A = this chain, B = another copy of it.
Amino acid sequence: MTPAAPIGVFDSGIGGLTVVAGLRRVLPREAILYLGDTARVPYGTKSSEVVRRYAHTCARFLLTEGAKMLVVACNTASAHALEFLRASFAVPVVGVIEPGAAMAARATRNNRIGVIGTEGTITSGSYQRALARLAPEATVIAKSCPLFVPLAEEGMVDHPATRLIATEYLAPFAAHEVDTVVLGCTHYPLLSPVLQQILGNSVELVDSASAVAIVVRDTLEANSLSAPRRAAEDRFFATDVSQRVLRVGRAFLGAELAAVNLVDL
């Protein structure tokens, strides 16, 4: 592993491109190798065993391609597979849950924290456990929001139906007067405006994606792996490439998506 090697990032699909956008902002010298497991997306409704198996295949691919460290940009995979990947491979592995939980623990003023995510992420209890450790005084209300991913992917980020569904999902947070809500899924930042409107401006939304870039920077420094200069372009891989992937990918990356290479895992 050399400092000039790229950072490997994988996600169940293209939502992890919001994490790539965060890494580009914080670490402009680092090259990124991205893999979206678009043929097997979504992970959020799959069992723990299957998610672990898929995450292992993704990680192995990125290491074969020369990644110096791994970022698990998928909340569901972070919830189910992080310890398993750390035990399986010798490189540093950063997930999205711990950074998001730590940011929420710092942000809350009244110690009432909400977490939203896929069914898999929420029922795994991973955010709840991380917050119990990082903010032991806090009351944590967790709520799975299964329709947010398809709504975000359909671009219905400001649709009356989305507002209706979000109002139902978020009702427990008003009742418990949370002042901080963790967006525990990489798709959710696209829905931030409507979520903020429903929750009110006094509630802080924590975007795990942006918290992750800071932890990655610290991890690279601690392991003497920071790139001295830009050594290569970012490269994008996916297990399935459709017009939809390219279209939605641009929205998540917030930039034009370079050539996406098809890979069969």
Q: Which A residues are closer than 8 A to B by beta carbons? A: 38-41, 45-47, 50, 119, 146-147, 149-151, 153-154, 156, 159-162, 164-165, 239-242, 244
Contact A47 B240 (CB under 8 A): yes
**Cα of A264 to Cα of B150 in the assembled complex, Å:** 26
**Smallest CB gap from A123: residue in B:** B243
* CB <8 Å contact, B45 and A242: yes
As for how many copies of this chain the complex holds, the number is: 2
Q: Are B244 and A119 in contact (CB under 8 A)?
A: yes
In the bound complex, do residue A154 and residue B146 qualify as a contact, i.e. CB atoms below 8 Å apart?
yes
Residues of B within 8 A of A40 (CB): 39-40
Nearest to A151 among chain B residues (CB) is B147
CB proximity of A44 to chain B, nearest CB, Å: 10
Q: How far is the CA of A242 from the CA of B47 in the complex (A)?
A: 6
Instruction: Chain B residues near A149: list those with CB within 8 A.
Output: 150
* B-chain residues with CB within 8 Å of residue A41 when the two chains form the complex: 45
- Residues of chain B with a CB closer than 8 A to A160's CB: 164
Among the listed B47, B147, B151, B240, which residue makes an inter-chain contact with A50, where contact means beta carbons less than 8 Å apart?
A: B240
Chain B residues in 8 Å Cβ range of A45: 41, 242, 244
Q: Please give, as numbers and ranges, the residues of chain B lying within 8 Å of A150 by CB-CB distance.
A: 146-147, 149-150
